Amino acid sequence: MRFPNAEAGASFCPTVAMFTRPSRKPLRILVVEDTDSHFELVQAALSELAHTFILGVLRATTCAEAKQILDKERTDVVLLDLFLPDSKSVATLTALRPHAAASAIVVMTALEDKKAALEAMENGADDYLVKGKFDGDLLMRSLRYAIERKRGEELNRFVPALVHDLKVHIAGGDRALEMLQLSGAGNAAGSGHLLVTLARQANHETMSLINNLLVLYRSGAESNQLTIEDLELMPFVEQVLSDLKLLIEQKKHRVELSLPDRMRLSADRLALGRLLRNLLHNSIKFTPRGGLITIQAEESPDASIIRISDNGPGIPAADQAYIFQPFWQGKSTSASARYMDGSGLGLNICKQLAEAHGGRLVLENRPEKTGCTFRLELPRGHGEHQ
């Protein structure tokens, strides 16, 4: 028994090699284990999965043999004994990892070798199991976890590259449109200038969505990677507004600032910029033409507080409990229509970024007024009012 097109020379599992279900894709597993009794225990655990999965199983008894198989066969998971006749401990993982770049690796270790297993986890293994201590259910959980972790690592490499390429093309198109707009060529057809402006606005909307998706994707990792700086609020807010100038002018909104002179706060520059841009983008986009947007700030003994308000349609009370949920876009009522035309990511990302700073973002209750106000509270650190 072997994988389709497998080369001879590997030692194949005689009883669990393939459970065929035509509609299912096989899960390809390489078991690297030199001790027959331990391999039989793995066989027994895998046999419990026959009713759930199509399994394709190969066996190698040395590190060199495993390398040969991995170079020739597509493998989803490697179940790896760290102590083999030709390789010992973490060196076994280090030797195999370049040959198993697309495979999840689950280390199998004896109870007394758990230290080596943990060291292997630190050096790229995706999970570990203690020999003789796992059944089919535990093995399946480990396989699923390892595969999902491996897929996550692949996405970590793929998504930033994809986002970079998309942003480069969008930015290039926007520069071309800007040159056309500045040259006055768009005026030749009367409505040409307006069309160019709308095309640039669409580019900015797309860029904002891409950035939001990237922030959402990275949010778990970035929350532990903030670079806290001492920021002066006024010039920081002015820069954020400059980034949104085109959208503000297109909607003919008025923006009023009420910020204390020389107020400073402690925050990650990129994360806070994304947070404020998302909040302001919502107000700009969904407030009717010619609206008013206000940005206010104050300090309490424990927090720096920023409020962003608008005089748009507001958010119905029934919807307010859900607005920070990812992909939530509101009900199709006229009052909540402000959140129907979007990805439903912006406010969720804002909340995550606020909490990553140890702060919070809340929607203030304004029963007597139209529009809405979001209040951002960030803990005060070294950035003090001076």
Range of the domain at 242: 228-386
Tokens representing 243? 């980034």
Number of C-alpha atoms within 13 angstroms, CB side, residue 212? 25
- Asked whether residue 135 carries a pLDDT value surpassing 80, the answer given is no
Residues 283 and 218 in one domain: no
Whole-number pLDDT of residue 46: 80
Using CB atoms within 10 Å of the CB of residue 232, give its burial: 0 to 12 exposed, 13 to 18 middle, 19+ buried: middle
**Which of the four pLDDT bands, split at 50, 70 and 90, describes residue 152?**
low
**Which of the four pLDDT bands, split at 50, 70 and 90, describes residue 194?**
low
The pairing of strands 303-310 and 292-299 is antiparallel
Residue 236 lies in a domain: yes
Residues 53 and 84 in one domain: yes
Residues 383 and 236 in one domain: yes
Query: Where among 190, 225, 260 does a domain terminate?
Result: 225
Q: State the Cα–Cα distance between residues 105 and 128, nearest whole angstrom.
A: 8
- Asked whether residue 3 carries a pLDDT value surpassing 60, the answer given is no
- Asked whether residue 185 carries a pLDDT value surpassing 60, the answer given is no
Whole-number pLDDT of residue 218: 58
Whole-number pLDDT of residue 241: 93
Query: Where among 173, 199, 225 does a domain terminate?
Result: 225
Return mean pLDDT, the chain: 76
Q: Are 308 and 244 contacting, i.e. CB atoms less than 8 angstroms apart?
A: no
Which single residue is written with the structure tokens 């707009």?
A: 181
Residue 118 neighbours by CB under 8 Å, 6+ apart: 128
- The 10s digit of each residue's pLDDT in 336-353 is 444 444 556 678 888 888
Residue 142 lies in a domain: no
**Which of the four pLDDT bands, split at 50, 70 and 90, describes residue 153?**
low
- Asked whether residue 85 carries a pLDDT value surpassing 90, the answer given is yes
Residues 33 and 173 in one domain: no
Taking the alpha carbons of 338, 340, 346, 347 in that order, is the dihedral positive or negative? Answer: positive
- Residues in the chain, how many? 386
Q: Are 127 and 107 contacting, i.e. CB atoms less than 8 angstroms apart?
A: yes
- The 10s digit of each residue's pLDDT in 26-54 is 778 899 999 988 888 888 888 877 666 67
Residues 277 and 169 in one domain: no
Query: Where among 101, 134, 167 does a domain terminate?
Result: 134
- Taking alpha carbons only, the member of 63, 79, 67, 62 closest to residue 28 is 79
Tokens representing 250? 């297109």
Assign residue 322 the CATH number of its domain.
3.30.565.10
**Which of the four pLDDT bands, split at 50, 70 and 90, describes residue 362?**
very high
Residue 322 lies in a domain: yes
- Asked whether residue 293 carries a pLDDT value surpassing 90, the answer given is yes
In the chain, DSSP assigns E strands to 11-12, 27-32, 55-60, 77-81, 104-109, 127-130, 228-232, 254-258, 264-268, 292-299, 303-310, 360-364, 372-379
Residues 83 and 198 in one domain: no
Q: State the Cα–Cα distance between residues 361 and 324, nearest whole angstrom.
A: 9
For residues 185-196, average pLDDT? 59
Q: State the Cα–Cα distance between residues 72 and 58, nearest whole angstrom.
A: 12
Amino acid, single-letter form, for residue 331: K
Whole-number pLDDT of residue 279: 93
Tokens representing 138? 């535990």
Residues 183 and 314 in one domain: no
CA distances (Å), origin 100, targets 10, 125, 161, 323, 337: 16, 11, 22, 43, 50
Q: State the Cα–Cα distance between residues 225 and 214, nearest whole angstrom.
A: 15
- Asked whether residue 228 carries a pLDDT value surpassing 80, the answer given is yes
To the nearest 5 percent, what fractions of the chain are helix, strand and coil? 45, 20, 35
- Asked whether residue 196 carries a pLDDT value surpassing 60, the answer given is yes
Whole-number pLDDT of residue 288: 92
- Terminal C-alpha separation, the chain: 75
Residues 160 and 35 in one domain: no
How many independent structural domains does the chain possess? Answer: 3
Residue 129 lies in a domain: yes
Between 204 and 288, the higher pLDDT residue: 288
- The 10s digit of each residue's pLDDT in 312-323 is 888 888 888 888
**Which of the four pLDDT bands, split at 50, 70 and 90, describes residue 223?**
very low
Whole-number pLDDT of residue 247: 82
Residues 292 and 383 in one domain: yes
Residue 170 lies in a domain: yes
Residues 127 and 161 in one domain: no
Number of helical (H) and strand (E) elements in the chain, helices listed first: 10, 13
Residue 354 neighbours by CB under 8 Å, 6+ apart: 275, 360, 361, 376, 377, 378
Residue 174 lies in a domain: yes
Q: Are 244 and 281 contacting, i.e. CB atoms less than 8 angstroms apart?
A: yes
**Which of the four pLDDT bands, split at 50, 70 and 90, describes residue 205?**
low
Residues 58 and 102 in one domain: yes
How many other CB atoms are there within 10 angstroms of residue 160's CB atom? 13
Which single residue is written with the structure tokens 């409505």?
A: 191
Residues 130 and 188 in one domain: no
Assign residue 100 the CATH number of its domain.
3.40.50.2300
